[in-house]
Amino acid sequence: MKRLIKRSLYSPEAYQNCVHRLEKLTSESRPQWGSMTAAQMLSHCAEVLEVSNGKPLTNTPFAAKLFKGWIRKMVLSDKPYPKNLRTHPQYKQSSERDFETEKKRLLDALKAFINFDRESSGQMEHPLFGRMTPEERGWSMYKHLDHHLTQFGV
């Protein structure tokens, strides 16, 4: 299995790369796999970042709590995410979304994420994964966003 280079969303180059790729996305962009629209994907990614930034994560299924160590290990691994992986109910996007609204929401969440002081961010508790180092936070959020940008061919 192909391994990813561990980039960090805290890296100015990785951050700018993600923003540049987001600018290439349109409301007409179609996924290479999965069923989300581009607007739903933007909403999904914004929600994941907002939770990482401190928003509460609610209604976590018992199975997710039971396997949170395994899920954390997969999130922090350098192996790419499998396609069509199940997600937390709060992150699932099934209703119609406005592309421009969700794009702005994601860009705002990205700015908030990188504006956290790296050391302070290491003191934050993720609701499912617990305390994560700045390196783990930067990598996990880059890996997730890269997965979905790749899904939409940007």
Please give the pLDDT value at position 116: 79
Domain assignment present for residue 1? The answer is: no
| Greatest C-alpha distance within the chain | 39
> What is the pTM (predicted TM-score) of this model?
0.93
Domain assignment present for residue 64? The answer is: yes
Predicted confidence (pLDDT) per residue in 18-49, tens digit: 999 999 999 999 999 999 999 999 999 999 99
**In total, how many domains does the chain have?**
1
* Spatial distance between the Cα atoms of 96 and 36, rounded to a whole number of angstroms: 10
Predicted confidence (pLDDT) per residue in 69-120, tens digit: 999 999 999 999 999 988 999 999 999 999 999 999 999 999 999 987 666 7
Token readout for 110 is 């990205």
The whole-angstrom distance between residue 95's C-alpha and the CA centroid of its chain comes to 19
Please give the pLDDT value at position 119: 63
Position 122 pLDDT exceeds 80: no
Distances, alpha carbon 64 to alpha carbons 88, 110, 121, in Å: 8, 25, 23
Predicted confidence (pLDDT) per residue in 131-153, tens digit: 999 999 999 999 999 999 999 99
Please give the pLDDT value at position 5: 83
Domain assignment present for residue 110? The answer is: yes
Domain assignment present for residue 39? The answer is: yes
Domain assignment present for residue 7? The answer is: no
Range of the domain at 21: 12-82+90-151
Please give the pLDDT value at position 76: 96
| Contact between 18 and 9 (Cβ < 8 Å) | yes
Please give the pLDDT value at position 123: 74
Please give the pLDDT value at position 4: 79
Domain assignment present for residue 94? The answer is: yes
Please give the pLDDT value at position 117: 66
Task: Name the region of 153 (left: φ>0; alpha: ψ -120 to 50; beta: rest).
Answer: left
